Amino acid sequence: IYKSPYPDVHIPKTSVFTHVFASRGPGDVGGFPGATKAFVDAASGAYLTRAQLRDLALTFGHGLRTHPATKPLARRGDTLLIYSPNSLAWPVVLFGSVAAGLRCTTANSAYTSRELAHQYTDSQAKLLITTEDGIRTVREMFAELGVAKREGDKRIIVVGRDLQWAGGPTIPPSVDAAGLLAMEDLLKGGKMESEERFDGDLSNETSYICYSSGTTGKPKGVETTHLNAIALLSIIGPHFPPCKAQDVLISVLPFYHIYALIQVLHLPFLLGLPVIVQPRFEPTVFCANIEKYKVTISLIVPPILVVLARHPAAEKFNLSTLRFLFSGAAPLGKDLVHQVKQRLRKLGAICEISQGYGLTETSPTTHLLSVEDSERKMGSIGSLLPNLEARLVDDEDGNVDAEEGSPGELWIRGPTVMKGYLNNPAATANSITPDGWFKTGDVAIKDKDGHYYIVDRRKELIKYKGFQVPPAELEAILLTHPDIADSAVIGVDDVVEATELPRAYVVHAHPEKIQTAAAKALFAQSVVKWMETQVAKHKFLRGGVAVTNEIPKSAAGKILRRELRDLAKKEATS
């Protein structure tokens, strides 16, 4: 059992809301002056101060618990689903919900009605908050689930008609939103004196439910407890680079994913940093915002570094304020890091780049590469964070440990390991051992200095630009295609874009219909197009579709993904 090289830290036994917002002195909110900026909308410049955010969250929580439309659906322990791109409303909704004793489940704002239906149903959400742009998909989802429009509409809250509460514009309500409850309606009736009291065991009280496919199958609800989140914030805080009063952080990472949920919505607030909220990554807008807000820090995924290394926009704006980029969610190549550092140096920025590693199930970060080690150990995910233990396991059951310096599956134990998969004891038992070890499905090596390297992935998961793409989900969808008899989806590397691309192998239901290479290519192309009508963008089959006679399977019927990955490599080089 490997221990963290760092001494254990104290983990307060309190609720998320208290941990984030409790005053430590007069006029302060969470340890910093209440009048300082917490979240800034990049486009309009509208912002929420720390005190405004706390007060609006308590007001929203009060609205949820008392408004006649939401009262019966927002009881203690009920779940609210957030289906919205990043915005200033996000932290209000999130912290307001947990203050009111609710759980939040967070969905990708690009989800189709089918994807949303899975999460809405599986999480047993009672309420759903979305923007005007999301209403149509939500209504489609209710229709697909057989819920009458009137009943479905009762569960929808629309955010963003009037952003004046955040110093933003008033937008006239759309026709679609007419008759639906608006977030603003919940901000009119006073505020809770303080958050809902938690009397029970906070290590068992779920606050957030993000979705992850884990090592296999469809996305599952990951129960992150109040204590999981606070443990993560406590163990990572001291290891994040030292922040100065003038530091400004920008993030384009989607708030629904655990990485931003914890490290953008919670961590900067605890460190006293303002967060510039840019809802979507667009290279020119990103660089323009760095100049406009004199940004010093950004949390990113590797494909954003590709842009900083090559995109002409980087030269059009003043990026000289940047001093730290933190990457995560996917492998980070050494060469890419050097290219970005060199280019930024030419543009006048002395910028350190390091990375973290983690999973939705570990709330998320388990490893972090310190700035001091970032040059020397580039490519490593860094050292194990405090309060955590790790094993590198050489067999399925954990009876054999890998030799020192040899690869093994990374197992993690500690206070940030999720409570379990929501309503799925079988999946939980498959991923957490009775003595508390969580199996990451990633294969790692540890060097003699205690730095870990991810060298392989044993699980099915594909990552497109840091987004999860569960192969089993795409395979199930492919099987609904009338001309497909069998399918398997794997990830193929795209070195230029620093990501993996989902690629499908399909068996035609009537092979005699597509005998020529041209007919096969045409069919493959039609499958790529068809998939684009079924799933969110990040799951498109960007790695292409190949028609094959048979999917390689084990005697037990399991897809032999390694064979397909080897085949894909051969196809790429031939």
C-beta closer to ligand 4UV: residue 19 or 65? 19
DSSP assignment letter at 560 = -
Nearest approach, Cβ of 326 to ligand 4UV (angstroms)?
Answer: 7
- DSSP letter assigned to residue 252: -
The nearest distance, CB 178 to ligand 4UV, in angstroms, is: 37
Least distance from ligand 4UV to the Cβ atom of residue 441, Å: 6
Which of residues 2 and 357 has its CB atom nearest to ligand 4UV in the complex?
A: 357
Q: What is the DSSP letter of 277?
A: E
* CA dist., res. 73 & res. 403, Å (int): 53
Which residue, 51 or 329, is less far from ligand 4UV as judged by CB? Answer: 329
Cβ distance to ligand 4UV smaller for residue 402 or 469? 469
Report the nearest approach of ligand 4UV to the CB of residue 275 (Å). Answer: 16
Question: Least CB distance from residue 17 to ligand 4UV, whole Å?
Answer: 22
Between the alpha carbon of residue 452 and those of residues 138, 244, 404, 574, the distances in Å are: 42, 29, 12, 34
Whichever of 195 and 247 has its CB closer to ligand 4UV, that residue is: 247
Distance CA 319, CA 460 (A): 38
Measure the CA dihedral 157/161/165/166, to 10°: 100
Phi, psi (degrees; rounded to nearest 5) at 367: -130, 145
Least distance CB 179 / ligand 4UV (angstroms)? 37
Nearer to ligand 4UV, 103 or 463 (CB): 463
Of 278 and 355, the one with the shorter C-beta distance to ligand 4UV is 355
Using CA atoms, how far residue 525 sits from 483, 503, 573, in Å, is: 13, 12, 21
- 3-state SS string over 398-423? CCCECCCCCCEEEEEECCCCCCEECC
CA distances from 106 to 81, 82, 258, 502 (A): 6, 5, 9, 23
Minimum CB separation of residue 413 from ligand 4UV in Å reads 16
Cβ distance to ligand 4UV smaller for residue 384 or 454: 454
| Minimum distance from residue 267 beta carbon to ligand 4UV (Å) | 10
Torsion sign (Cα): 241, 242, 244, 245: positive
CB of 396 to ligand 4UV, least distance (A): 17
Which residue minimizes CB distance to ligand 4UV? 328
Place of tokens 């003699």: 448
Residue 248 vs 258, nearer CB to ligand 4UV: 258
For ligand 4UV, the closer of residues 183 and 461 by Cβ is 461
β-sheet bridge partners, residue 486 = 507
- Pairs from 529-533 (Cβ < 8 Å, separation ≥ 24): 530/481, 531/474, 531/477, 531/478, 531/504
The first and second tokens of residue 60, run together, are 């929203």
Shortest Cβ 542–ligand 4UV spacing (Å): 18
Binding stretches for ligand 4UV (CB under 6 A) = 212, 258-259, 328-331, 355-360, 364-365, 381, 440-442, 454, 457, 463, 466, 468
The H or E element that residue 357 is part of is: strand 352-358
Cα separation of 126 and 311, whole Å? 44
Question: Nearest CA to 275 among 259, 285, 260?
Answer: 260
Closer CB to ligand 4UV, residue 428 or residue 548? 428
Interatomic CA distance for residues 167 and 40, integer angstroms: 10
CB of 366 to ligand 4UV, least distance (A): 7
Q: Report whether 286 contacts 316 (CB < 8 A).
A: no
DSSP state of 439: E
